[in-house]
């Protein structure tokens, strides 16, 4: 990742189809389109690729998470259990619905610890949101069992994990609803875009209507459509969908490049006895978008992160000190800094963040380094990079 590294003629051709007919909107204007329906086509191709009955494209991954949760009926005062290590977007998407994000510990998979999930369930819990960070997954069997037992909706935020699988099924297609991002830095990109996937027709219709002002999309006269309920505008444009369509058709190519580069780096780092790798649950296969490994302690990880930067190795993240992905530095969320007043339920529900600590997550994130795998590296560069990484890390051990 990211897919933009390999933009080429395929993306140009799909975009030109849209510019040639001039219809940038995904709905209506049937006569002008000359048969080009980029968003609809991308939805159908994603259904096949992801083994899902229904796909609804939206304007971003953040929108996908909000739309998925809204479609499952999550709203005011409901609690959504999610991991401490994610992206602020997953937190924001829950807040947008007036619901309460309940953060719980991660384990060595770098995502939800099922034991922590079970402990956090209350009478207000409506959903569990697993976030497949950096291309890999939690123990999804365990999470599904918990959700069934407590009648909770399981939502997969697979925004960073397209192409990864669990027991042969694509991530995103295992829970009740799955969410994807096609923003600029993802394995396949639309520039900006996202998708909600589900096998549940009722959830799908809700996602379809909710993401377009509640329109029922029956017939082809937009002004005559009815609105079974209120929605907002989370539509994707035809321009964005066109780029995504070309990129999706190259997904298998991108994944095999990622896997090849990942294997070279992993083999090199495996020769350092102090390094261990993120646990991938049995039956899981990562999408190889990142290589995640652990060093013996926080201090060594900090030093290794610095040494990698100094050696000119870009794209290696130590999330412990990062402002976007880990709860430790989300001061604006801990302080509930919003432009508008929050409901009392949400303010009370979020108070725990001011004092709660997450020692187990700190232990994993503190020792973790996460290295982005780029698509555009020539083979020699991957090998040179691997040697530099080994040297830099050995230098701090």
Q: What is the size of the binding site for ligand PLP (CB under 6 A)?
A: 15
For ligand PLP, which residue has the nearest CB?
Answer: 61
- Name which of 197 and 389 has its Cβ closer to ligand PLP: 197
Q: Is 90 one of the binding residues for ligand PLP (CB under 6 A)?
A: yes
- Name which of 3 and 382 has its Cβ closer to ligand PLP: 3
The footprint of ligand PLP on residues 118-137 (CB under 6 A) is: 131
Residues 6+ apart with CB under 8 A from 147: 128, 153, 154, 175
Residue labelled with tokens 């509640």: 214
Nearest alpha-carbon partner for 233 in 216, 217, 206, 209? 209
In the complex, the smallest distance separating the C-beta of residue 181 from ligand PLP, rounded to whole angstroms, is 3
Kindly tell me which residue out of 56, 136, 181, 370 binds ligand PLP, with binding defined by CB under 6 A: 181
Kindly tell me which residue out of 47, 141, 183, 216 binds ligand PLP, with binding defined by CB under 6 A: 183
Kindly tell me which residue out of 11, 52, 87, 294 binds ligand PLP, with binding defined by CB under 6 A: 87
Kindly tell me which residue out of 160, 173, 303, 361 binds ligand PLP, with binding defined by CB under 6 A: 160
User: Which of the residues 126, 186, 206, 302 is marked catalytic?
Assistant: 186
Convert residues 46-85 into a mask of x (bound to ligand PLP by CB under 6 A) and - (unbound).
Answer: --------------xxx--x--------------------
- 201-236: burial string, b at 16+ Cβ within 10 Å, e else: eebbbbbbbbbbebbeeeeeeeeebeeeeebbebbb
Q: Is 156 one of the binding residues for ligand PLP (CB under 6 A)?
A: no
The footprint of ligand PLP on residues 184-243 (CB under 6 A) is: 194
186 in catalytic set: yes
Q: Which residues pair with 277 in a beta bridge?
A: 293
**Residue 299 falls in which region: left (phi positive, over 0), alpha (psi -120 to 50) or beta:** alpha
- Name which of 86 and 136 has its Cβ closer to ligand PLP: 86
Residue pair 316/370 in contact by the 8 Å Cβ criterion: yes
Residue labelled with tokens 């002004």: 223
- Name which of 242 and 307 has its Cβ closer to ligand PLP: 242
Helix, coil or strand: residue 268: helix
Q: Which stretch binds ligand PLP (CB under 6 A): 153-161, 208-216, 235-243, 307-315?
A: 153-161
- Name which of 68 and 257 has its Cβ closer to ligand PLP: 68
For residue 139, the 8-state DSSP code is -
| CA separation for the pair 386, 397 (Å, rounded) | 17
In the complex, the smallest distance separating the C-beta of residue 159 from ligand PLP, rounded to whole angstroms, is 4
For residue 370, the 8-state DSSP code is E
Nearest alpha-carbon partner for 44 in 246, 245, 252? 245
Q: Which residues pair with 181 in a beta bridge?
A: 194
- Name which of 65 and 268 has its Cβ closer to ligand PLP: 65
Residue pair 330/369 in contact by the 8 Å Cβ criterion: no
Active-site positions read 186
List interacting residues with ligand PLP (CB under 6 A): 60-62, 65, 86-87, 89-90, 131, 157, 159-160, 181, 183, 194
């Amino acid at each position: 990742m990211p897919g933009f590294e390999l933009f080429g003629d395929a993306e140009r051709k799909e975009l030109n189809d849209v510019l040639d007919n001039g219809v940038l909107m995904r709905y209506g204007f049937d006569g002008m389109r000359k048969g080009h329906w980029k968003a609809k086509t991308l939805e159908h191709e994603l259904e096949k690729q992801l083994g899902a009955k229904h796909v609804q494209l939206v304007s971003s991954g953040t929108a996908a998470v909000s739309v998925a949760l809204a479609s499952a009926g999550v709203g005011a005062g409901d609690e959504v259990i999610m991991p401490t290590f994610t992206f602020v977007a997953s937190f924001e998407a829950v807040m947008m619905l007036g619901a309460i994000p309940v953060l719980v510990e991660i384990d060595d998979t770098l995502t939800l610890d099922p034991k922590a999930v079970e402990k956090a369930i209350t009478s207000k819990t409506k959903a569990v949101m697993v976030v497949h960070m950096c291309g890999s997954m939690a123990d999804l069997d365990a999470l599904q069992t918990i959700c069934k037992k407590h009648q909770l909706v399981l939502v997969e935020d697979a925004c960073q994990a397209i192409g990864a699988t669990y027991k042969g099924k694509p991530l995103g297609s295992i829970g009740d609803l799955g969410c994807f991002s096609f923003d600029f830095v993802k394995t396949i990109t639309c520039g900006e875009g996202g998708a909600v996937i589900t096998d549940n027709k009722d959830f799908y219709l809700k996602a379809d209507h909710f993401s377009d002002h509640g329109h029922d999309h029956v017939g082809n006269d937009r002004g005559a459509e009815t609105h079974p309920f209120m929605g907002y505008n989370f539509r994707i444009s035809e321009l964005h969908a066109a780029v995504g369509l070309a990129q999706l058709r190259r997904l298998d190519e991108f994944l095999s490049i990622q896997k090849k580069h990942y294997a070279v780096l992993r083999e090199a780092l495996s020769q350092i006895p102090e390094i261990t790798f993120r646990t991938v649950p049995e039956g899981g296969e990562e999408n190889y978008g990142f290589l995640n490994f652990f060093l013996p302690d926080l201090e060594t990880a900090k030093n290794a992160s610095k040494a990698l930067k100094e050696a000119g190795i870009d794209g290696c993240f130590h999330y412990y000190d990062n402002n976007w992905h880990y709860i430790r530095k989300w001061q604006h969320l801990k302080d509930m800094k919003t432009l508008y007043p929050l409901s009392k339920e949400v303010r009370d529900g979020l108070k725990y963040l001011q004092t709660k600590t997450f020692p187990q997550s700190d232990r994993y994130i503190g020792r973790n380094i996460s290295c982005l795998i780029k698509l555009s590296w020539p083979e020699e560069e991957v090998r040179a990079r691997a040697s530099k990484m080994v040297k830099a890390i050995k230098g701090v051990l």
